[in-house]
Each structure stands twice: as structure tokens, then as C-alpha cells.
């Protein structure tokens, strides 16, 4: 397999993307930083400016939110879920996990191994 693209298969821990949303006024960057500091995510993107339309308590709502895109491994999902539920301001936080079926081999290795992988690359230089 080339360094350009790799399937997310084999004996390595599978890469996944988890999604959650928080309110527009919530400290989403602080939450993202906490997830990375705890080693539960390799990278979190915070996308402001989302609007969520949903049914809650019998009425349709449309509220501004921020989308968090959390890159991690399948082995971290249970701990990540617990942290999301601990840190999240909502009674029922969105927590959806999607499989990654392929991508850049180097990036997938980074997701699986974190900074240890980056150090190994520098040692090869």
C-alpha cells in the first residue's frame, strides 16, 4: 500500500470519527483540548456556525451549535463516550461513532499511535 492511501484494515486499531454538538456559547475548544490532553482523541475539529433542527419535548427547535469532529481509535471509544457524557452540557448529548474505511497511511498511523508515531518519523530523518 502506498503512503498516499491505506485501508483501515488489519491488526492495527481501527480509526474512527466521533461526532458531537454543543451549544454556540459553550467552550467547545476547551472540551476538545481536554479530550486531546486525556489521550482520548488524536485531533478534534471544532466547527462553529452550525444550526441544528430537532424535535425536543414536543416541539421543533432550530438552535445554533458547534460541531466537534473527533478523530480517535475504536479502542478509545468507551472512554471517550464517558468523557463526553461527563463534560457535555446537554442531558442527552449527541455521540455518534463512524468507521474510517481508509485514508492517508501516515495520518491513520498518527491516529493510532499519536506522538510516538511522529517521533519515529523524526528518527528516520
Q: What DSSP string describes 32-91?
A: HHHHHHTTS-SEEEEEEEEEEEEEETTEEEEEEEEEEEEEEEGGGHHHHHHHHHHH-SSS
Task: Tell me which residue of 47, 36, 90, 37 sits closest to 69, measured CA to CA.
Answer: 47
Q: Angle 47-53-55 (CA atoms, 0-180°, nearest 5)?
A: 135
The confidence score (pLDDT) of residue 13 equals: 61
CA distance linking residue 58 with residue 80, whole number of Å: 30
> In the chain, what are the domains?
6-124 (3.30.70.120)
Residue 34 cell numbers, joined: 481536554
pLDDT per residue as tens digits for the range 36-48: 999 999 999 999 9
12: pLDDT strictly greater than 60: no
The confidence score (pLDDT) of residue 111 equals: 85
Burial-class residue 23 by CB neighbours within 10 Å (0-12, 13-18, 19+). Answer: middle
Q: Are 102 and 5 in contact (CB under 8 A)?
A: yes
3: pLDDT strictly greater than 50: no
Better-predicted residue by pLDDT, 15 or 5: 15
User: What's the whole-model pTM score?
Assistant: 0.84
Amino acid at each position: 500500500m502506498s503512503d498516499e492511501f491505506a485501508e483501515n484494515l488489519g491488526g492495527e486499531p481501527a480509526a474512527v470519527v466521533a461526532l458531537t454538538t454543543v451549544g454556540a456559547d459553550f467552550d467547545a475548544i476547551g472540551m476538545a483540548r481536554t479530550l486531546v490532553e486525556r489521550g482520548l482523541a488524536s485531533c478534534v475539529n471544532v466547527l462553529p456556525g452550525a444550526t441544528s433542527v430537532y424535535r425536543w419535548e414536543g416541539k421543533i427547535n432550530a438552535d445554533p451549535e458547534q460541531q466537534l469532529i473527533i478523530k480517535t481509535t475504536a479502542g478509545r471509544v468507551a472512554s471517550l463516550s464517558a468523557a463526553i457524557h461527563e463534560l457535555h452540557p446537554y442531558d442527552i448529548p449527541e455521540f455518534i461513532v463512524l468507521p474510517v474505511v481508509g485514508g492517508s497511511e501516515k495520518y491513520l498511523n498518527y491516529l493510532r499511535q499519536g506522538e510516538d508515531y511522529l517521533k519515529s518519523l523524526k528518527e528516520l530523518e
